[in-house]
């Protein structure tokens, strides 16, 4: 930074313009990000219902939150949905990328097909799958009409299984993203490695699992971060596909918060829930960021 800063240092007037250009950025950071987070945190310690009040109640809202079955189930759902979603996308994305890496004809056509769901919104994704999985007229009926009269696939309305079809729809939407990131990573793998592996007598699956997969760590890392953020923010998909039901079977924290902020007018509880979500994100990200910075330092020295 110092070596290039010297030019601007000599001309403080010009430097001022550089600072002025950053004003919108600072405004967004300080008011819209930090300010609102602090405000949200403040409300979470009050007894606010439909309007914010200044009656401080300590951690009461947090205690109530974790006594709420709906919240506890939302968190459990998120853990299940999140881990299956990330794992599903990674496996399917990696397999598709490996298949596409075999010098196939029409690679770009396949790539376009695998990635197009990522271009459509979660609302569209949710509505399409809601229709496909419609128990009376969708997939179940289509298969029954083929002669399999006892075929049952009503997971969308099954309390114990709805979360899996929600996950399936999300995997359909996002695994193309992993495919694209992994494919970009695969193209950076030195072709001589394969020759060496073959000399050692390795089969193709073994080569991909033992040699290539470890080299794709950066792609895997990026994918996990992007998908993880998507899990925490998951709202539209649930609203469109199941509205959280049946019962609370597909309720997720982001939707819980929105419902209590705007529908049920319980600001204290909703803000407490968003602070919990925020702390979770920080708790997951901080160690990752630390590992990354340590690695960067090791590379530099």
Partner 1 sequence: MSSRPLFPAHAEGPRPARLNLGRLALYLCLIAAAAAFLFPLWVMVTTSLKDMEAVRSGSIFGWPAQPSLEAWKSAWTSACTGLTCEGLRGGFVNSLLILVPSVALPVALGAVTGYALSFWRPRGGKLLFGGLLIGLFIPYQVFIYPLVRILSSVGLYGNIGGIVAVHTIFAMPIMLLLFRNYYASLPMDLFKAARIDGGGFWTIFRRVVLPMSAPIIVVAVILQVTGVWNDFLFGLIFAGSDNLPMTVQLNNIVNSARGAQEYNVQMAATILTALVPLIVYFFSGRWFVRGIAAGAVKG
In the window 223-262, what residues touch partner 1 (CB under 8 A)? 223, 225-226, 229, 232-233, 235-236, 239-240, 243, 254, 257-258, 261-262
Rounded distance between C-alpha atoms, residue 265 and residue 288, angstroms:
36
Kindly indicate which of the ranges 56-64, 65-73, 109-117, 158-166 contains the residues binding partner 1, using the contact rule CB under 8 A: 109-117
Among 151, 153, 164, 207, binds partner 1 (CB under 8 A): 207
Six token digits for residue 289: 């960021």
For 57, list phi and psi in degrees, rounded to 5: -125, 20
- Indicate which single residue of 145, 200, 247, 294 sits in contact with partner 1 (rule: CB under 8 A): 145
Q: How many helices (H) and strands (E) does the chain have?
A: 17, 0
How buried is residue 267: exposed, middle or buried, by Cβ count under 10 Å (0-12/13-18/19+)? buried
- Maximum Cα–Cα distance for the chain, whole Å? 83
Least distance (Å) between residue 61 CB and partner 1: 14
Of 3-42, which residues contact partner 1 (CB under 8 A)? 4-5, 7-8, 14-15, 17-19, 21-22, 24-26, 28-29, 31-37, 39-40
Judged by beta carbon, residue 12 or residue 58, the one nearer partner 1 is 12
| Rounded Cα gap, residues 237 and 4, in angstroms | 47
First-to-final CA distance of the chain: 18
- Compute the least distance from the CB of residue 242 to partner 1, in Å: 10
Instruction: Mark 72-101 with x for binding to partner 1 (rule: CB under 8 A) and - for no binding.
Output: ------------------------x-xxxx
- Residue 278 as a binder of partner 1 (CB under 8 A): the answer is yes
263 touches partner 1 by CB under 8 A = no
Q: How far is the CB of 60 from partner 1 (least distance, A)?
A: 19
- Residue ranges in 157-186 that form contacts with partner 1 under rule CB under 8 A: 172, 176-177, 180-181, 183-184, 186
201 binding partner 1? (CB under 8 A): no
- Residues 6 or more apart whose Cβ sits within 8 Å of residue 232: 78, 82, 253, 254, 277, 280, 281
Which member of 63, 79, 113, 291 binds partner 1 (CB under 8 A)? 113
């Amino acid at each position: 930074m110092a070596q290039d800063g010297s030019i601007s240092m000599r001309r403080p007037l010009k430097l001022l313009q550089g600072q002025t250009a950053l004003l919108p950025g600072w405004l967004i950071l300080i008011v819209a990000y930090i300010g609102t987070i602090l405000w949200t945190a403040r409300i979470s310690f009050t007894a606010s219902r439909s309007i914010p009040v200044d009656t401080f109640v300590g951690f009461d809202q947090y205690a109530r939150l974790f006594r709420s079955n709906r919240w506890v189930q939302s968190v459990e759902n998120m853990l299940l949905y999140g881990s299956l979603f990330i794992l599903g996308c990674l496996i399917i994305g990696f397999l598709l990328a490996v298949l596409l890496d075999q010098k196939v004809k029409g690679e770009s056509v396949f790539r376009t097909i695998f990635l197009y769901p990522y271009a459509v919104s979660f609302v569209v994704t949710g509505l399409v799958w809601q229709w496909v999985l419609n128990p009376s007229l969708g997939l179940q009926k289509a298969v029954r009409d083929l002669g399999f009269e006892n075929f049952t696939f009503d997971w969308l309305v099954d309390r114990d299984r709805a979360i899996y079809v929600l996950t399936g729809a999300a995997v359909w939407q996002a695994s193309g993203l992993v495919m694209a990131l992994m494919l970009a990573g695969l193209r950076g793998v030195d072709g001589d490695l394969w020759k060496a592996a073959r000399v050692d007598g390795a089969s193709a699956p073994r080569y991909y699992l033992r040699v290539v997969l470890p080299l794709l760590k950066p792609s895997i890392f990026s994918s996990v971060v992007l998908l993880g953020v998507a899990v925490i923010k998951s709202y539209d998909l649930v609203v469109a596909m199941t509205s959280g039901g049946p019962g609370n079977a597909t309720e997720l924290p982001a939707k819980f918060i929105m419902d209590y902020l705007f529908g049920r007018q319980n600001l204290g509880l909703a803000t407490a829930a968003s602070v919990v979500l925020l702390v979770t994100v920080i708790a997951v990200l901080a160690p990752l960021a630390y590992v990354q910075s340590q690695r960067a330092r090791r590379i530099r020295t």
